[in-house]
Amino acid sequence: MIEKINELKSDIQNASISNENELEEFRLEFLSRNGRVQKMFGLMGSVPNEKKAEVGKAMNEVKNLAQATFDGAKNSLHKSEEKTFSATQDISLPVQPTYTGSFHPLTRALHQIKEIFLRLGFNIADGPELEDDFHNFTALNFPPDHPARDMQDTFFVRKSDDPNQQDHVLRTHTSPVQIRLMKDKEPPIRSIMPGRVYRNEAVTAKSYFQFNQVEGLYVDESVTMGELIETLVMFAKLMYGSDVKYRVRPSYFPFTEPSIEMDVWWDNDKGGQWLEILGAGMVDPNVLEAVDVDSEKYTGFAFGMGVDRIALLRYGIDDIRTLYENDIRFLRQFTS
Ligand code: DAH
């Protein structure tokens, strides 16, 4: 009897099942009602009582083996069926578009600005977005009653409930980083300082309560206005192309003397217009003195530009708010 069971067992082990037909043959031969396993159980009656336990156990093992073989074969057949299916798909069909990530237009514009100034020998510096009055205004030669300190432009941050204590602000420009640099470091200093700034302005297509600037500062012995203008012209050409049309106008800032602004000509459907891209000037001696830099020995130039406007111009975006809303449909347009 045991011999018969072993024979059945080895037949099961040797069965080859490589397609649905063979699977069905296996089922009929071993597992069906008239199959060999069932027949084997039918022989139980002729087994002497004292052997019944041993034989029954062996029979059950063979039955389990047959079932497990069947289940395993069925599973792997179905898996390979899936594979065959995908291999026979029409590979000439157009693929579903998958979106790769893309740089935000502000990040792109910033990369470009940084690259240009790194080429011109500037390094990159950084400062906090929460500033105190001294760095944001006083050291930059803003008179105490200057309108820029007015509530309309500045987000004041109070450290306590005392309404008179208004000594912190969300920085309204990146110029306070100039102050930090000059306090920390002896000249020569030649750095750009990119960063986010905040102003208490009405939100419209053209203005927002936060935006990005890049500040520049060069302080050394005998830095001149000529070098400033040459640097800015070089920047404009590298940023907008060597045939860019630009102009430099006199202007006013508390922290520079003399002060200038630079415009570039922007061609559009309405015939084009001048757009201001930056403010600049020679660092006011009062500013140098406020941070203990000897204004007899050193001179410097500084400039500040808006990154948002550059990005809007470059990518033909007409609403600044889209830069901050993180609408994926907007961002996807900049996938390269
Ligand atoms: N801080 C000025 C602003 O926010 C921009 C600026 C103008 C920065 C002239 C400068 C500068 O460093 O020299 O509009």
Neighbours of 126 (CB within 10 A): 12
What does DSSP say about strands 123-124 and 189-198: parallel, antiparallel, or unpaired?
parallel
Closest-lying ligand 1 atom to the alpha carbon of residue 255 = 13
Probe residue for ligand 1, chosen from 212, 260, 303, 308 as the CB with the greatest number of ligand atoms within 8 Å = 303
From residue 267, alpha-carbon distances to 237, 242, 247, 249, 316 in Å are 16, 15, 15, 20, 11
CA 54 to ligand 1 center in whole angstroms: 97
Give the SS3 label for residue 15.
Answer: coil
Does the pLDDT of residue 85 top 80, yes or no? no
Query: Where in the chain are all domains bearing CATH 3.30.930.10?
Result: 105-127+182-334
From residue 105, alpha-carbon distances to 268, 322, 326 in Å are 20, 10, 11
CA 280 to ligand 1 center in whole angstroms: 6
Q: How many residues does the chain have?
A: 336
Residue 136 identity: N
Closest-lying ligand 1 atom to the alpha carbon of residue 175 = 1
Dihedral pair phi/psi, residue 230, rounded to 5°: -60, -40
Task: Output the pTM of the full model.
Answer: 0.71
Mean pLDDT for 180-192 is 97
> Of 108, 136, 127, which is closest to residue 199 (Cα–Cα)?
136
Residue whose token pair is 């860019």:
244
Probe residue for ligand 1, chosen from 173, 210, 212 as the CB with the greatest number of ligand atoms within 8 Å = 173
Q: Give the CATH architecture of domain 105-127+182-334.
A: 2-Layer Sandwich (3.30)
User: For residues 17 and 24, what is the distance between their CA atoms, to the nearest angstrom?
Assistant: 9
DSSP structure class, residue 324 = T
Mean pLDDT for 98-126 is 93
> Of 238, 222, 213, 224, which is closest to residue 120 (Cα–Cα)?
238
pLDDT of residue 272: 86
CA 256 to ligand 1 center in whole angstroms: 9
pLDDT digits (tens, 9 = 90+) for 276-329: 999 999 999 999 999 999 999 999 999 999 999 888 888 888 899 999 998 988
Neighbours of 45 (CB within 10 A): 7
User: For residues 326 and 35, what is the distance between their CA atoms, to the nearest angstrom?
Assistant: 67
CA 159 to ligand 1 center in whole angstroms: 27
CA 173 to ligand 1 center in whole angstroms: 7
Sign of CA dihedral 99, 104, 110, 114: negative
Establish whether residue 304 lines the binding site of ligand 1, counting it when its CB lies within 6 angstroms of any ligand atom.
yes
pLDDT of residue 50: 92
Dihedral pair phi/psi, residue 251, rounded to 5°: -150, -165
pLDDT of residue 319: 92
Angle at 242 between CA 267 and CA 106, to 5 degrees: 65
User: For residues 209 and 203, what is the distance between their CA atoms, to the nearest angstrom?
Assistant: 6
Asked if residue 251 lies in contact with residue 260, where contact means CB atoms within 8 angstroms, the answer is: yes
Distance of CA 302 to the CA centre of its chain: 30
Query: How many alpha carbons lie under 13 Å from residue 121 in its C-beta half-sphere?
Result: 7
pLDDT digits (tens, 9 = 90+) for 54-82: 999 999 999 999 999 999 999 988 886 66
pLDDT digits (tens, 9 = 90+) for 222-235: 999 999 999 999 99
DSSP structure class, residue 23 = H
Q: Does 188 or 201 have the greater pLDDT score?
A: 188
CA 175 to ligand 1 center in whole angstroms: 6
pLDDT digits (tens, 9 = 90+) for 240-286: 899 999 999 999 999 999 999 999 998 878 888 898 999 999 999 99
